[in-house]
Structure formats: structure tokens, C-alpha cells
Amino acid sequence: MIGHRFFRDVRGQTPTDFVIGVSLFLATVAVVLSLAPVLFTGGVGGVPPDAGGADRAVEHLKHGVLAGTGDGALDERGSVSRACTIAFFDASSAPASAGCAYDSSRSLPVLVGVPESHAMTVTVVDQGGDTVTVDGVELSRSHDAPGTEGMDSVVVTRSISIVGVGEDPVRLRVTVTPGGAE
């Protein structure tokens, strides 16, 4: 029996081989587990709190509050409503009279689905980063919240066009700073 003799002559695993193998395996597992959070959060420091909330807020503003149609559809050029944009940023304007589908009595965070404990700023800026003014209304609105000083902010922007306001697109910028309590 040639096969039987082959297995007796080959050296088996010694306790030292076992210890080295298990040590390498455990070291590899430890490195993978220590790096796993970085793999899932996208970088050192992780994803800022409520990054998804800021993203949802800017989308809700673009396709809901500023669109003016109530169904979230932009006009044929993809532009937001001039009247609804002015009514949103001008506290003295009534959105219902402009045909806008939102309740102006609600606070800014509640209007866009962010907790009221979060500070936020909504601004429309031009290509140079300056705040846009339409019909004498500066397109910037903010909500302050206590306990947000020194906290990291999340800034999300979207390119928009406002009906009847130049040909160049502008940027809708939403800055959200999470507060302490929700």
C-alpha cells in the first residue's frame, strides 16, 4: 500500500504550528474589526450627525416648498416657483396667496422635517457665493436653537433655477447644526 505509507511519512501539524496559525488569524480579525467603522462611515471622524436629515431637507425644499405645485414637480425647465421662493424667504408674504403648498405658521425645521432642536440656515447663493436677492427679498432664512454652539454642521447644496431670475443656475444651500436634545 503505497498510499498508506505516504501518510505516515509526512510530518503533521505541531503545537507550535497551531499557535502561530491561530495567532495570525486572531491578529487579522482584530485589524479587520478595528477598521470596520471607517469602512462603513466613509472616513476618519465618520458621517456627521443628521447628514441624511439635511439631505432630505434640501430635497423637500427644492421639490416641495419652493416648487409651488404641491405635487413636488418642478416646471418644464426644472425651475422652482418665483412666487413660492419669495414667500418662503419673506416672512410677511402669504404662501397660500402665491399658490404654494406649505404652511408658513410652522417653524423652519418642522417645515422641512428636521427636529426643532437643530439650528439651520437656508440660503440661495449665486456662482460667487453671494446671497441672491429677488424683488428686494434676500433669499436667506434661519432658525437658531440653543445648545448648537460649537457643534459640527452639515451643509448640503443643490443647483436650482428660479423662474424669471436670470439664466444662470443658483445654489440652494441648507446648513443644519444638530442640537443637544431631540
- Mean pLDDT value across the chain: 76
Same domain, 101 and 170: yes
What is the pTM assigned to this prediction? Answer: 0.65
Buried b (16+ CB within 10 A) or exposed e, 133-157: ebeebebebebebeebeeeebbebe
Same domain, 81 and 6: no
pLDDT digits (tens, 9 = 90+) for 44-62: 444 455 566 778 888 888 8
Give residue 20's pLDDT. 94
Same domain, 90 and 166: yes
Q: In degrees rounded to 5, what are phi and psi of residue 88?
A: -65, -45
Quick check: 10 pLDDT over 60?
yes
Least confident of 40-54, 77-91, 159-173: 40-54
Mean pLDDT of 157-171: 80
Assigned domain for 21 exists: yes
Give residue 44's pLDDT. 44
Same domain, 19 and 91: no
Same domain, 64 and 102: yes
Domain that holds residue 27: 2-41
Same domain, 79 and 34: no
Task: Determine which helix (DSSP H) or strand (DSSP E) holds 111, and give its type and residue range.
Answer: helix 108-112
- The domain total for the chain is 2
Return the C-alpha cell found at 138.
434676500
Same domain, 24 and 63: no
Same domain, 32 and 104: no
